Amino acid sequence: MLVRANSVLMGLCIVAGLAFPATAQETLPCASFAKNGDGDWVATRDVTVPGPNGPVEIKQGNIASDELQDRLDTECK
């Protein structure tokens, strides 16, 4: 009985993860960004990153948004 309950619980967790993809945080392509002299993250090549409403394309040389800057500061030290 305990094994069956664990299986049901695991299944519910998987379904919840698929239903709420924001809970599964995607990693950023840190190698595609570099800090400029002002301390802003700039794309070093054309790159697509996960955004709140789906993928976002950033062209080489463009500065990342404030939200993405914060994520890059956290994930790409």
Each residue of 2-52: pLDDT tens digit?
Answer: 555 445 444 444 544 444 444 445 789 999 999 999 999 999 999 999 988
Are 47 and 58 contacting, i.e. CB atoms less than 8 angstroms apart?
yes
Q: How many folded domains does the chain comprise?
A: 1
Task: State which residues form the domain around 45.
Answer: 2-75
Q: What is the arithmetic mean of pLDDT over 60-74? A: 96
Q: Rounded to whole angstroms, how far apart are CA atoms 16 and 44?
A: 36
Residue 64 confidence (pLDDT): 96
**pLDDT score for 2:** 53
Residue 73 half-sphere exposure, CB side, CA atoms within 13 Å?
A: 9
pLDDT, residue 27, reads: 86
What pLDDT, on a 0 to 100 scale, did the predictor assign at position 5?
A: 46
